[in-house]
Chain A
Amino acid sequence: MAVNESDRSFDHPLYETLERFPGLDLATTAVDKVLTWGANNSQWIFPMATSCCGIEFMAAAASLVDLDRMGSITRGSPRQSDLMVVAGTITVKMAPRVKRLWDQMPEPKWCIAMGSCAISGDFYRDIYSVIPGIDVAIPVDVYIPGCPPNPEQLMAGMLRLQEKVNLKRAGLWSPPETRPETGKTIEPAIKRLLQAGRDERITAAQLDQAMSLMLPAVDLPPRPEPEPEPTAEADAGTTEAPAAPATPDGGHHE
Chain B
Amino acid sequence: MEQRNAGKHPEPPRREDASHMEYMTEVRNFAIRSWFPRIAGDVSSIAAAAGLPPAITRDEFAQLAPQVDQIPAVQGWKRLMRSQQQLAWQKLQDSYAADREYWEGQLTEAEERNRGRLHYDPDFVAPESACQDIHLQPGGYCGDNLAGYVFYHGTRVFYQGDNDFDEIHDSCADVMKLPADGQVRRVLDLGCSIGQCTTALKERHPDAEVRGLDVALPMLRYAHMRATDMNVDVHFHQGLAEDLEFSDGTFDTVFAYILFHEVPKHTFEPIVREAFRVLRPGGTFTVIDAPNADRLPPPNRMWAAYDAQYNCEPFSPAFGAADFTGLLAKAGFEDVEKGSSDSFLYNTFAVKPL
Are these two chains actual partners, yes or no? no
Taking Cβ atoms with an 8 Å cutoff, the residues of A that contact B are none
Residues of chain B having any CB pair with chain A under 8 Å: none
